[in-house]
Amino acid sequence: MKYTISLTKTENSKLGGVDFNNIPFGRHFSDHIFIADFDGENWVNPRIEPFANFSIHPACMGLHYGQSIFEGMKATKTLDGQPMLFRPEMHAARMNASARRMCMPEIPESLFLQGLDMLVGVDADWIPPQEGSALYLRPLMFANDEFIGVRPSAKYKFIIMTGPVGPYYPKPVRLMAENHFVRAVNGSTGEAKAAGNYAGAMLPTKMAQEKGFDQVMWLESPEFKYIQEVGTMNIFFVINGVTITPVTDGAILKGITRDSIITLLREEGYPVEVRRITIDELVAAYKAGTLEEVFGAGTAAVVSHVSHIQYDELLMELPPVEGRKISRWVKDHIDGLRSGRFEDTHGWVVPVGVFQEEEVPA
């Protein structure tokens, strides 16, 4: 279905105030925003407007009861300047999986893709040209009923905001295996990209940061043995040449970068195991000298090397990044697919503009 999306362009671009050679993550917002409203029955009034604050009622249900979900995506430019999206259909599908879990309405795939595509086209000058930087895209849907009782909201707002970003983790990260707090268990909301999952992680993360770590590495309750994921990314281990990542069993986010990495490594002939892995197995590999690489993967993080993992009294110091064959190959490959340096044989990298199909005359 073709949606009619109205466009009001800004007369005061902020682009001149951004230094593309020094972009902190998440601080700059580009000139326009996409908005659509769910009126209880339909998604209505899709529009692109100048980026600005909007007002919400103090009883907005999303604020009170946490019906709020989002995606993280990136747009990049190829070496010849063509703006590209990365696996947009998969993000649309994951957004709707989150919506179903949080009892929110799904967004028609064509509305998600057309809004995103048009917005990125309008703000294409905001895409940083250098490899490793990108225009970060943040689709967000939240409950918008003005009501204090607890029930699913009838009204929702769906927005897409964007902003240029550099690397989320500019240097290798230090992780602390968390053996007290829990992110998610089977049957909870762990697989959804729900705002509340991130809220629950704030305190343990702050406590880990106070001890000198960047993020927590979540272990599964109640045994605190099986490794799940890291605060902002999925996790991969290379033990004896085999790449291992936890199976997404309902409590772990189904990362799209994670899926891309598994596919690329297998195609390249690297052995990959998607299975449950315990912290004891990790410690044993570390002590035996066979834990070769650890890296996180996510849209924001792309591929982020891990330098240390603390577990109880043991601080595991991982080998230097320079010698990490697999994570360096896969990072280079994902960056290179996005910039067009490597051929995309999967149809993952989609030129901006393709979702604006021609109007069919009535």
Given the complex with ligand COI, which of 50 and 66 has the nearer CB atom? 66
Which residue among 46, 62, 72, 204 contacts ligand COI (CB under 6 A)?
A: 72
Question: Which residues ranging from 261 to 300 are in contact with ligand COI (CB under 6 A)?
Answer: 298-300
User: What's the burial of 32, exposed, middle or buried (CB within 10 Å: 0-12/13-18/19+)?
Assistant: buried
At closest approach, how far in Å is the CB of 107 from ligand COI? 17
Binding mask 18-57 for ligand COI (x = CB under 6 A): ----------------------------------------
Given the complex with ligand COI, which of 168 and 311 has the nearer CB atom? 168
Question: Which residues ranging from 320 to 359 are in contact with ligand COI (CB under 6 A)?
Answer: none
At closest approach, how far in Å is the CB of 341 from ligand COI? 22
Given the complex with ligand COI, which of 201 and 316 has the nearer CB atom? 201
At closest approach, how far in Å is the CB of 334 from ligand COI? 13
At closest approach, how far in Å is the CB of 90 from ligand COI? 13
102 alpha carbon, distance to own chain's centre: 18
At closest approach, how far in Å is the CB of 72 from ligand COI? 2
Given the complex with ligand COI, which of 228 and 232 has the nearer CB atom? 232
Place of tokens 């829990």: 182
Question: Which residues ranging from 294 to 323 are in contact with ligand COI (CB under 6 A)?
Answer: 298-301
At closest approach, how far in Å is the CB of 168 from ligand COI? 6
Question: Which residues ranging from 130 to 189 are in contact with ligand COI (CB under 6 A)?
Answer: none
Given the complex with ligand COI, which of 163 and 311 has the nearer CB atom? 163
Which residue number places its CB atom closest to ligand COI?
72
At closest approach, how far in Å is the CB of 217 from ligand COI? 15
Which residue among 98, 114, 232, 327 contacts ligand COI (CB under 6 A)?
A: 232
Residue numbers at the binding site for ligand COI (CB under 6 A):
72, 232, 298-301
